[in-house]
Structure 1
Protein backbone atom coordinates (compact mmCIF):
# COMPACT_ATOMS: atom_id res chain seq x y z
CA UNK A 1 0.00 0.00 0.00
CA UNK A 2 2.83 2.41 0.85
CA UNK A 3 4.48 1.73 -2.51
CA UNK A 4 1.15 2.40 -4.25
CA UNK A 5 0.87 5.74 -2.47
CA UNK A 6 4.40 6.64 -3.48
CA UNK A 7 3.71 5.74 -7.13
CA UNK A 8 0.87 8.29 -7.20
CA UNK A 9 2.79 11.00 -5.36
CA UNK A 10 2.46 14.31 -7.16
CA UNK A 11 -0.05 12.97 -9.69
CA UNK A 12 -3.39 14.80 -9.92
CA UNK A 13 -6.73 13.06 -9.47
CA UNK A 14 -7.75 13.30 -13.14
CA UNK A 15 -4.39 12.03 -14.32
CA UNK A 16 -4.59 9.11 -11.89
CA UNK A 17 -8.01 8.26 -13.26
CA UNK A 18 -6.75 8.41 -16.84
CA UNK A 19 -3.77 6.19 -16.05
CA UNK A 20 -5.96 3.65 -14.26
CA UNK A 21 -8.33 3.56 -17.24
CA UNK A 22 -5.43 3.03 -19.64
CA UNK A 23 -4.10 0.21 -17.47
CA UNK A 24 -7.50 -1.49 -17.43
CA UNK A 25 -7.85 -1.15 -21.21
CA UNK A 26 -4.38 -2.64 -21.72
CA UNK A 27 -5.31 -5.59 -19.52
CA UNK A 28 -8.55 -5.93 -21.46
CA UNK A 29 -6.62 -6.24 -24.73
CA UNK A 30 -4.37 -8.85 -23.12
CA UNK A 31 -7.24 -10.96 -21.76
CA UNK A 32 -9.78 -10.61 -24.57
CA UNK A 33 -7.00 -11.06 -27.12
CA UNK A 34 -5.59 -14.17 -25.47
CA UNK A 35 -5.30 -17.32 -27.56
CA UNK A 36 -8.31 -19.58 -27.33
CA UNK A 37 -11.10 -17.41 -25.94
CA UNK A 38 -12.37 -14.40 -24.06
CA UNK A 39 -13.00 -15.61 -20.51
CA UNK A 40 -13.10 -12.09 -19.07
CA UNK A 41 -14.80 -10.95 -15.90
CA UNK A 42 -14.39 -7.88 -13.69
CA UNK A 43 -12.51 -9.76 -10.98
CA UNK A 44 -9.94 -11.16 -13.44
CA UNK A 45 -9.42 -7.76 -15.03
CA UNK A 46 -8.88 -6.06 -11.67
CA UNK A 47 -6.57 -8.80 -10.42
CA UNK A 48 -4.40 -8.60 -13.53
CA UNK A 49 -4.36 -4.79 -13.45
CA UNK A 50 -3.67 -4.82 -9.68
CA UNK A 51 -6.57 -2.47 -9.07
CA UNK A 52 -9.68 -2.80 -6.92
CA UNK A 53 -13.17 -3.12 -8.40
CA UNK A 54 -13.87 0.38 -7.14
CA UNK A 55 -11.45 1.72 -9.73
CA UNK A 56 -12.93 -0.47 -12.44
CA UNK A 57 -16.36 1.02 -11.90
CA UNK A 58 -14.83 4.48 -11.79
CA UNK A 59 -14.35 4.18 -15.57
CA UNK A 60 -16.78 1.49 -16.76
CA UNK A 61 -20.45 0.93 -15.94
CA UNK A 62 -20.21 -2.85 -16.17
CA UNK A 63 -18.35 -5.75 -17.72
CA UNK A 64 -20.01 -5.49 -21.15
CA UNK A 65 -19.32 -1.76 -21.36
CA UNK A 66 -15.68 -2.51 -20.61
CA UNK A 67 -15.47 -5.11 -23.39
CA UNK A 68 -16.99 -2.65 -25.87
CA UNK A 69 -14.52 0.03 -24.80
CA UNK A 70 -11.59 -2.33 -25.27
CA UNK A 71 -12.81 -3.16 -28.77
CA UNK A 72 -13.29 0.53 -29.62
CA UNK A 73 -9.80 1.26 -28.27
CA UNK A 74 -8.20 -1.28 -30.62
CA UNK A 75 -10.37 -0.25 -33.57
CA UNK A 76 -9.29 3.37 -33.13
CA UNK A 77 -5.63 2.31 -33.15
CA UNK A 78 -6.20 0.38 -36.38
CA UNK A 79 -7.96 3.30 -38.02
CA UNK A 80 -5.25 5.76 -37.01
CA UNK A 81 -2.46 3.44 -38.17
CA UNK A 82 -4.04 3.03 -41.59
CA UNK A 83 -4.71 6.74 -41.96
CA UNK A 84 -1.12 7.68 -41.02
CA UNK A 85 0.32 5.11 -43.40
CA UNK A 86 -1.77 6.31 -46.33
CA UNK A 87 -1.04 10.00 -45.74
CA UNK A 88 2.73 9.51 -45.56
CA UNK A 89 3.04 7.12 -48.53
CA UNK A 90 3.58 8.11 -52.17
CA UNK A 91 0.55 7.54 -54.43
CA UNK A 92 2.02 4.39 -55.95
CA UNK A 93 2.85 2.90 -52.55
CA UNK A 94 -0.36 3.48 -50.63
CA UNK A 95 -1.67 -0.07 -50.93
CA UNK A 96 1.55 -1.58 -49.60
CA UNK A 97 1.83 1.04 -46.85
CA UNK A 98 -1.73 0.39 -45.67
CA UNK A 99 -1.28 -3.38 -45.64
CA UNK A 100 2.05 -3.17 -43.82
CA UNK A 101 0.56 -0.83 -41.23
CA UNK A 102 -2.30 -3.25 -40.62
CA UNK A 103 0.10 -6.19 -40.38
CA UNK A 104 2.23 -4.31 -37.85
CA UNK A 105 -0.80 -3.67 -35.65
CA UNK A 106 -2.79 -6.87 -36.13
CA UNK A 107 -0.17 -9.56 -36.73
CA UNK A 108 2.92 -8.25 -34.97
CA UNK A 109 0.69 -7.53 -31.95
CA UNK A 110 -1.61 -10.57 -32.18
CA UNK A 111 -3.62 -9.75 -29.05
CA UNK A 112 -4.90 -6.61 -30.79
CA UNK A 113 -5.54 -8.59 -33.94
CA UNK A 114 -7.62 -11.15 -32.07
CA UNK A 115 -9.60 -8.42 -30.28
CA UNK A 116 -10.49 -6.70 -33.53
CA UNK A 117 -11.04 -9.69 -35.80
CA UNK A 118 -11.84 -12.75 -33.66
CA UNK A 119 -13.41 -11.48 -30.43
CA UNK A 120 -16.66 -10.31 -32.13
CA UNK A 121 -17.25 -13.95 -33.09
CA UNK A 122 -16.84 -15.13 -29.48
CA UNK A 123 -17.97 -12.24 -27.32
CA UNK A 124 -21.71 -11.36 -27.28
CA UNK A 125 -21.03 -7.85 -25.97
CA UNK A 126 -19.34 -6.91 -29.26
CA UNK A 127 -20.98 -9.34 -31.66
CA UNK A 128 -22.31 -6.43 -33.71
CA UNK A 129 -19.34 -4.08 -33.44
CA UNK A 130 -17.44 -5.57 -36.34
CA UNK A 131 -20.39 -4.90 -38.60
CA UNK A 132 -20.81 -1.37 -37.26
CA UNK A 133 -17.15 -0.49 -37.84
CA UNK A 134 -16.78 -2.18 -41.21
CA UNK A 135 -17.91 0.92 -43.20
CA UNK A 136 -14.97 2.87 -41.77
CA UNK A 137 -12.48 0.36 -43.19
CA UNK A 138 -14.39 0.04 -46.44
CA UNK A 139 -14.17 3.81 -46.88
CA UNK A 140 -10.41 3.75 -46.33
CA UNK A 141 -9.97 1.12 -49.04
CA UNK A 142 -12.40 2.80 -51.44
CA UNK A 143 -10.58 6.10 -51.12
CA UNK A 144 -7.36 4.40 -52.21
CA UNK A 145 -8.87 2.98 -55.40
CA UNK A 146 -8.03 4.85 -58.62
CA UNK A 147 -10.47 7.69 -59.36
CA UNK A 148 -13.23 7.24 -61.90
CA UNK A 149 -15.80 4.57 -62.53
CA UNK A 150 -19.19 4.04 -61.00
CA UNK A 151 -19.37 4.69 -57.27
CA UNK A 152 -21.45 1.56 -56.69
CA UNK A 153 -18.77 -0.56 -58.37
CA UNK A 154 -16.01 1.09 -56.32
CA UNK A 155 -17.97 0.38 -53.16
CA UNK A 156 -18.48 -3.29 -54.07
CA UNK A 157 -14.77 -3.67 -54.79
CA UNK A 158 -13.86 -2.12 -51.44
CA UNK A 159 -16.31 -4.34 -49.54
CA UNK A 160 -14.87 -7.41 -51.27
CA UNK A 161 -11.29 -6.42 -50.52
CA UNK A 162 -12.03 -5.77 -46.83
CA UNK A 163 -13.80 -9.12 -46.57
CA UNK A 164 -10.91 -10.96 -48.21
CA UNK A 165 -8.27 -9.23 -46.10
CA UNK A 166 -10.27 -9.91 -42.93
CA UNK A 167 -10.48 -13.61 -43.72
CA UNK A 168 -6.77 -13.80 -44.48
CA UNK A 169 -5.75 -12.07 -41.25
CA UNK A 170 -8.17 -14.17 -39.19
CA UNK A 171 -6.75 -17.39 -40.64
CA UNK A 172 -3.21 -16.16 -40.00
CA UNK A 173 -3.96 -15.24 -36.38
CA UNK A 174 -5.63 -18.61 -35.78
CA UNK A 175 -2.57 -20.40 -37.14
CA UNK A 176 -4.52 -21.84 -40.05
CA UNK A 177 -2.45 -20.02 -42.69
CA UNK A 178 1.05 -21.47 -42.76
CA UNK A 179 2.87 -18.73 -44.67
CA UNK A 180 5.57 -16.25 -43.74
CA UNK A 181 4.78 -12.71 -42.71
CA UNK A 182 6.36 -11.36 -45.93
CA UNK A 183 4.31 -13.73 -48.06
CA UNK A 184 1.14 -12.58 -46.31
CA UNK A 185 2.01 -8.92 -46.90
CA UNK A 186 2.89 -9.48 -50.55
CA UNK A 187 -0.35 -11.36 -51.18
CA UNK A 188 -2.48 -8.70 -49.47
CA UNK A 189 -0.76 -5.89 -51.38
CA UNK A 190 -1.36 -7.74 -54.63
CA UNK A 191 -5.01 -8.20 -53.67
CA UNK A 192 -5.50 -4.46 -53.14
CA UNK A 193 -3.61 -3.57 -56.32
CA UNK A 194 -5.65 -6.05 -58.37
CA UNK A 195 -8.79 -4.49 -56.96
CA UNK A 196 -7.52 -1.13 -58.19
CA UNK A 197 -7.12 -2.57 -61.67
CA UNK A 198 -10.68 -3.87 -61.53
CA UNK A 199 -11.82 -0.43 -60.47
CA UNK A 200 -10.34 1.00 -63.65
CA UNK A 201 -12.06 -1.56 -65.89
CA UNK A 202 -14.94 -0.14 -67.93
CA UNK A 203 -18.40 -1.29 -66.92
CA UNK A 204 -19.91 -3.90 -69.17
CA UNK A 205 -23.09 -3.01 -70.91
Structure 2
Protein backbone atom coordinates (compact mmCIF):
# COMPACT_ATOMS: atom_id res chain seq x y z
CA UNK A 1 0.00 0.00 0.00
CA UNK A 2 1.19 3.53 -0.80
CA UNK A 3 0.57 5.83 2.15
CA UNK A 4 -0.16 9.52 1.97
CA UNK A 5 3.05 10.54 3.71
CA UNK A 6 5.32 8.61 1.31
CA UNK A 7 7.35 10.84 -1.00
CA UNK A 8 6.49 10.03 -4.66
CA UNK A 9 9.40 9.57 -7.03
CA UNK A 10 9.79 11.12 -10.46
CA UNK A 11 9.14 8.77 -13.34
CA UNK A 12 9.59 9.24 -17.06
CA UNK A 13 10.58 12.85 -16.52
CA UNK A 14 7.31 13.67 -14.71
CA UNK A 15 7.58 15.01 -11.17
CA UNK A 16 6.21 12.59 -8.60
CA UNK A 17 4.05 15.18 -6.88
CA UNK A 18 2.50 16.12 -10.24
CA UNK A 19 1.63 12.50 -10.95
CA UNK A 20 -0.02 12.21 -7.52
CA UNK A 21 -2.03 15.39 -8.22
CA UNK A 22 -3.11 14.07 -11.62
CA UNK A 23 -4.23 10.77 -10.11
CA UNK A 24 -6.11 12.66 -7.40
CA UNK A 25 -8.01 14.69 -10.02
CA UNK A 26 -8.79 11.50 -11.93
CA UNK A 27 -10.15 9.86 -8.77
CA UNK A 28 -12.27 12.93 -7.95
CA UNK A 29 -13.75 12.90 -11.45
CA UNK A 30 -14.47 9.17 -11.16
CA UNK A 31 -16.03 9.78 -7.75
CA UNK A 32 -18.31 12.45 -9.22
CA UNK A 33 -19.30 10.09 -12.02
CA UNK A 34 -20.31 7.38 -9.54
CA UNK A 35 -21.92 9.66 -6.94
CA UNK A 36 -23.79 11.64 -9.58
CA UNK A 37 -25.27 8.60 -11.32
CA UNK A 38 -28.91 7.59 -11.16
CA UNK A 39 -28.01 4.76 -8.76
CA UNK A 40 -25.07 6.08 -6.76
CA UNK A 41 -22.70 3.63 -5.13
CA UNK A 42 -19.19 4.55 -4.15
CA UNK A 43 -16.53 2.07 -3.08
CA UNK A 44 -12.75 2.34 -3.15
CA UNK A 45 -12.55 -0.57 -5.58
CA UNK A 46 -15.28 0.86 -7.79
CA UNK A 47 -13.82 4.34 -8.03
CA UNK A 48 -10.35 2.99 -8.78
CA UNK A 49 -11.79 0.84 -11.57
CA UNK A 50 -13.68 3.82 -12.98
CA UNK A 51 -10.54 5.99 -12.80
CA UNK A 52 -8.29 3.30 -14.26
CA UNK A 53 -6.01 3.66 -11.23
CA UNK A 54 -4.53 0.82 -9.21
CA UNK A 55 -6.17 0.59 -5.78
CA UNK A 56 -2.87 1.13 -3.99
CA UNK A 57 -2.67 4.66 -5.41
CA UNK A 58 -5.98 5.67 -3.86
CA UNK A 59 -4.27 6.09 -0.51
CA UNK A 60 -1.76 8.61 -1.86
CA UNK A 61 -4.48 11.24 -1.57
CA UNK A 62 -7.35 9.81 0.49
CA UNK A 63 -7.48 8.01 3.80
CA UNK A 64 -10.79 6.31 2.99
CA UNK A 65 -14.00 6.52 0.96
CA UNK A 66 -15.40 9.34 3.12
CA UNK A 67 -12.33 11.48 2.40
CA UNK A 68 -12.90 11.06 -1.33
CA UNK A 69 -16.59 11.92 -0.98
CA UNK A 70 -15.65 15.09 0.88
CA UNK A 71 -13.13 16.04 -1.80
CA UNK A 72 -15.64 15.50 -4.61
CA UNK A 73 -18.25 17.62 -2.86
CA UNK A 74 -15.79 20.38 -1.97
CA UNK A 75 -14.55 20.54 -5.57
CA UNK A 76 -18.08 20.92 -6.96
CA UNK A 77 -19.33 23.43 -4.41
CA UNK A 78 -16.18 25.57 -4.65
CA UNK A 79 -16.42 25.75 -8.44
CA UNK A 80 -20.07 26.79 -8.25
CA UNK A 81 -19.50 29.35 -5.50
CA UNK A 82 -16.52 30.98 -7.22
CA UNK A 83 -18.09 31.09 -10.70
CA UNK A 84 -21.40 32.38 -9.33
CA UNK A 85 -19.74 35.19 -7.39
CA UNK A 86 -17.72 36.10 -10.50
CA UNK A 87 -20.91 36.23 -12.57
CA UNK A 88 -22.60 38.42 -9.95
CA UNK A 89 -19.61 40.77 -9.75
CA UNK A 90 -19.52 41.16 -13.53
CA UNK A 91 -23.15 42.31 -13.76
CA UNK A 92 -23.79 46.06 -13.58
CA UNK A 93 -27.32 46.31 -12.16
CA UNK A 94 -28.96 44.68 -9.16
CA UNK A 95 -31.44 42.92 -11.40
CA UNK A 96 -28.59 41.85 -13.63
CA UNK A 97 -26.72 40.43 -10.64
CA UNK A 98 -29.72 38.33 -9.61
CA UNK A 99 -30.15 37.02 -13.14
CA UNK A 100 -26.43 36.34 -13.55
CA UNK A 101 -26.17 34.42 -10.29
CA UNK A 102 -29.20 32.25 -10.94
CA UNK A 103 -28.24 31.69 -14.58
CA UNK A 104 -24.77 30.53 -13.59
CA UNK A 105 -26.05 28.03 -11.01
CA UNK A 106 -28.73 26.62 -13.32
CA UNK A 107 -26.39 26.48 -16.31
CA UNK A 108 -23.68 24.71 -14.30
CA UNK A 109 -26.12 22.05 -13.11
CA UNK A 110 -27.85 21.71 -16.50
CA UNK A 111 -24.54 21.18 -18.27
CA UNK A 112 -23.44 18.57 -15.73
CA UNK A 113 -26.45 16.99 -13.95
CA UNK A 114 -24.06 14.90 -11.86
CA UNK A 115 -23.35 18.03 -9.87
CA UNK A 116 -27.00 18.61 -9.16
CA UNK A 117 -27.53 15.03 -8.03
CA UNK A 118 -24.48 15.28 -5.78
CA UNK A 119 -25.81 18.44 -4.17
CA UNK A 120 -29.49 17.56 -3.90
CA UNK A 121 -30.26 13.88 -4.52
CA UNK A 122 -32.05 12.09 -1.68
CA UNK A 123 -30.41 8.86 -2.85
CA UNK A 124 -27.12 10.08 -1.39
CA UNK A 125 -27.65 9.65 2.35
CA UNK A 126 -24.08 9.49 3.64
CA UNK A 127 -23.58 11.34 6.96
CA UNK A 128 -20.50 12.93 5.38
CA UNK A 129 -22.57 14.42 2.57
CA UNK A 130 -25.34 15.45 4.96
CA UNK A 131 -22.84 17.52 6.91
CA UNK A 132 -21.30 18.90 3.73
CA UNK A 133 -24.72 19.97 2.49
CA UNK A 134 -25.45 21.79 5.74
CA UNK A 135 -22.12 23.58 5.53
CA UNK A 136 -22.55 24.56 1.87
CA UNK A 137 -26.06 25.84 2.55
CA UNK A 138 -24.57 28.12 5.21
CA UNK A 139 -21.97 29.31 2.69
CA UNK A 140 -24.60 30.20 0.09
CA UNK A 141 -26.81 31.87 2.68
CA UNK A 142 -23.85 34.06 3.61
CA UNK A 143 -23.06 34.71 -0.05
CA UNK A 144 -26.62 35.79 -0.77
CA UNK A 145 -26.85 37.86 2.40
CA UNK A 146 -23.61 39.69 1.57
CA UNK A 147 -24.98 40.63 -1.85
CA UNK A 148 -28.48 41.38 -0.61
CA UNK A 149 -27.99 44.03 2.07
CA UNK A 150 -28.43 46.97 -0.28
CA UNK A 151 -30.69 45.20 -2.73
CA UNK A 152 -33.26 44.11 -0.15
CA UNK A 153 -32.67 47.20 2.01
CA UNK A 154 -31.95 45.05 5.06
CA UNK A 155 -29.30 45.59 7.70
CA UNK A 156 -27.37 42.81 9.43
CA UNK A 157 -30.26 41.29 11.32
CA UNK A 158 -32.46 38.28 11.72
CA UNK A 159 -34.56 39.57 8.81
CA UNK A 160 -31.59 39.40 6.44
CA UNK A 161 -30.67 35.89 7.59
CA UNK A 162 -34.29 34.76 7.37
CA UNK A 163 -34.70 36.09 3.83
CA UNK A 164 -31.42 34.57 2.62
CA UNK A 165 -32.17 31.21 4.27
CA UNK A 166 -35.65 31.07 2.76
CA UNK A 167 -34.42 31.91 -0.73
CA UNK A 168 -31.45 29.51 -0.69
CA UNK A 169 -33.54 26.65 0.67
CA UNK A 170 -36.29 27.26 -1.84
CA UNK A 171 -33.85 27.46 -4.72
CA UNK A 172 -32.19 24.18 -3.72
CA UNK A 173 -35.55 22.39 -3.57
CA UNK A 174 -36.60 23.87 -6.90
CA UNK A 175 -33.39 22.77 -8.64
CA UNK A 176 -33.74 19.29 -7.15
CA UNK A 177 -37.32 18.99 -8.43
CA UNK A 178 -36.27 20.27 -11.86
CA UNK A 179 -33.48 17.70 -12.13
CA UNK A 180 -35.92 14.95 -11.13
CA UNK A 181 -38.38 16.06 -13.79
CA UNK A 182 -41.11 17.22 -11.41
CA UNK A 183 -40.84 20.75 -12.78
CA UNK A 184 -41.26 20.73 -16.55
CA UNK A 185 -39.75 23.97 -17.79
CA UNK A 186 -36.78 24.86 -19.97
CA UNK A 187 -33.47 26.05 -18.57
CA UNK A 188 -34.27 29.61 -19.70
CA UNK A 189 -37.71 29.50 -18.09
CA UNK A 190 -36.26 28.18 -14.85
CA UNK A 191 -33.71 31.01 -14.73
CA UNK A 192 -36.38 33.65 -15.38
CA UNK A 193 -38.82 32.30 -12.80
CA UNK A 194 -36.20 31.82 -10.08
CA UNK A 195 -34.76 35.27 -10.72
CA UNK A 196 -38.24 36.79 -10.43
CA UNK A 197 -38.69 35.10 -7.05
CA UNK A 198 -35.31 36.33 -5.86
CA UNK A 199 -36.16 39.85 -6.97
CA UNK A 200 -39.59 39.85 -5.31
CA UNK A 201 -38.46 40.75 -1.77
CA UNK A 202 -36.87 43.92 -3.18
CA UNK A 203 -40.03 45.14 -4.87
CA UNK A 204 -42.04 47.90 -3.14
CA UNK A 205 -45.41 46.78 -1.71
CA UNK A 206 -48.39 47.34 -4.01
- Range into which the TM-score falls when normalised by the shorter chain: 0.7 to 0.9
**Per-residue deviation, residues 142-185 of structure 1 (Å, max 9, x unmatched):** 12225233422111111110011001100011122111111111
The root-mean-square deviation of aligned C-alpha atoms, in Å, is 1.7
Report the Cα distance in structure 1 between the residues aligned to 2:101 and 2:119, rounded to whole angstroms.
17
Answer 1 or 2: which has greater helix percent: 1
Is 1:153 the counterpart of 2:159? The answer is yes
| Residue equivalent to 2:181 | 175
Task: Calculate the TM-score normalised by the size of structure 1.
Answer: 0.87
1:66 pairs, out of 52, 68, 79, with 68
Conserved 8 A contact 2:30-2:47: yes
Report the Cα distance in structure 1 between the residues aligned to 2:43 and 2:27, rounded to whole angstroms.
12
Report the Cα distance in structure 1 between the residues aligned to 2:116 and 2:164, rounded to whole angstroms.
20
Shift of 1:122: 2.5
Report the Cα distance in structure 1 between the residues aligned to 2:109 and 2:12, rounded to whole angstroms.
36
Shift of 1:121: 4.6
Shift of 1:125: 2.7
| Residue equivalent to 2:37 | 34
Query: Equivalent residues in 2 for 1:1-205 (5 A)?
Result: 9-35=12-38, 37-92=39-94, 93-118=96-121, 121-147=124-150, 148-150=153-155, 151-197=157-203
Unpaired runs of 5+ in structure 2? 1-10
Conserved 8 A contact 2:35-2:42: yes
Report the Cα distance in structure 2 between the residues aligned to 1:72 and 1:120, rounded to whole angstroms.
19
Unpaired runs of 5+ in structure 1? 1-7
Task: Calculate the TM-score normalised by the size of structure 2.
Answer: 0.86
Conserved 8 A contact 1:21-1:59: yes
Shift of 1:73: 1.1
Number of aligned residue pairs: 191
